[in-house]
Structure 1
Amino acid sequence: MAELSLVVGLGNPGAQYARTRHNAGFRVADEIVRRQSADYQAWQNLGEYAKIRLAGKDVLVAKPFTYMNESGRLVSSLARFFKIPAQNILVCFDDVSLGVGHIRLRPSGSAGGQKGMKSVIEQLGTQNIARLRVGIGPKPAPFDLADFVLSNFSKADETLLAPALENAANAVESWLKDGLEKTMTRFNG
């Protein structure tokens, strides 16, 4: 069996969260799956995944059904079952420290306060997991952080987000094809 890669979009399940800032990772995953005209299938009550072929590689694109702070359960379950090493995993999630419309890739590091990424790191037992952060900020001063990330994007922000989601999907394809270093050079500027 060919070596698989795993791309995970983080977010919260349910219609009430679908368009919130915290679901930027889900929206990246959905953009990738939409481009491939693929369908998701459920995985052990932990989430869903679509198996696609992208950049000449077999890839699972997944979204947790658990809430954000339990995202690692799906990631570790898929990684164990399909024998996907940490270096073949890319996690996509929202980042309040990046402006709306910006994306940034990193090869590793701490969760930086992102509870979904913290769960992934804890479940996999390593910080050496590539991540693609999608800007949703900055948070306005009067907002509580939790209220902000669970708020919907304004129409103006949606206009900025749309090309960022396309760009993020392109970055995932580049990561698979050209590796992380070249992709960071191309997309982090």
Structure 2
Amino acid sequence: MKYLIVGLGNIGPQYELTRHNIGFLVLDRLAELHKAPAFSSDRLAFTTEFRYKNAVLHLIKPTTFMNLSGKAVSHWLNTLKIPKENMMVITDDLALPYGKLRIKSKGSNGGHNGLGNIQEVLGSQDYPRLRFGVGSNFSKGKQVDYVLSNFDQNEMAELPIHLDRCSEAIVSFCMAGIERTMNQFNTK
């Protein structure tokens, strides 16, 4: 079985530890835990892959910037011939408290421009996603500044624990399926 795991974020050092880059951070941790080769620059994304039991997990971090993520996702789904139900997109979510995970098999973009573009390009909202809560500690009109700001000191201290949980959830999705993964990780 082949899986496409997509971490959403923006390229460049100024974005590296921002809330909006949680998808990239999760993939970095997942690759590290499973001793995947270093990410390399490929068409529209940084890519790597690793084997886990009977599955190959293809990890991509789109280099198209967040709002054009659909182009990279479509390219890699088609190139690797992976059905969209075997894809999981990891993204930040302002509606969830910091560190809370919400895994869904499909759904709206919830106002997230990266998910919105993927939905538009694929012509469907029927694909699994893992939303990582980044909280909503910002004043009215400051949403963009908030998601593009770095995690605070307390959040950074907890981040490794959350990245490990996300990595477990992704492997669970590939091994046990979306329903069991939602049951296990959405309740914590």
Q: TM-score range by the shorter chain?
A: over 0.9
Q: TM-score, normalised by structure 2?
A: 0.95
1-side partners of 2:135 and 2:53: how far apart? Answer: 31
Hey, what does 2:40 align to over in structure 1?
A: 41
Q: TM-score, normalised by structure 1?
A: 0.94
Aligned partner of 2:30: which letter?
Answer: I
Shift of 1:48: 1.2
Hey, what does 1:134 align to over in structure 2?
A: 132
Post-superposition Cα deviations, 1:88-126, rounded to whole Å, max 9, x if no partner, equal 100000001111111110110111011111111112121
**Aligned: 1:15 with 2:7:** no
Report the identity percentage. Answer: 37
Matching of residues 1-189 of structure 1 within 5 Å: 3-38=1-36, 39-44=38-43, 46-141=44-139, 144-189=142-187
2-side partners of 1:35 and 1:56: how far apart? Answer: 17
2-side partners of 1:102 and 1:55: how far apart? Answer: 28
Q: Secondary structure at the match of 2:118?
A: helix
Shift of 1:156: 0.6
**Consecutive unaligned residues in structure 1, runs of 5 or more:** none
Deviating above 3 A after TM superposition, structure 1's stretches of 4 or more consecutive aligned residues are none
How many residues are paired up? 186
1-side partners of 2:7 and 2:53: how far apart? Answer: 18
- Is the Cα–Cα contact under 8 Å of residues 20 and 153 in structure 1 kept in the other structure? yes
Aligned partner of 2:42: which letter?
Answer: W
1-side partners of 2:63 and 2:42: how far apart? Answer: 9
* RMSD of aligned alpha carbons: 1.2
Q: Secondary structure at the match of 2:94?
A: strand
Shift of 1:162: 2.3
Structure 1 pair 142–127 and aligned structure 2 pair: CA distance change class (3 A): closer
Q: Secondary structure at the match of 2:91?
A: strand
Shift of 1:41: 2.2
1-side partners of 2:138 and 2:105: how far apart? Answer: 29
Aligned partner of 1:49: which letter?
Answer: T
Q: Secondary structure at the match of 1:173?
A: helix
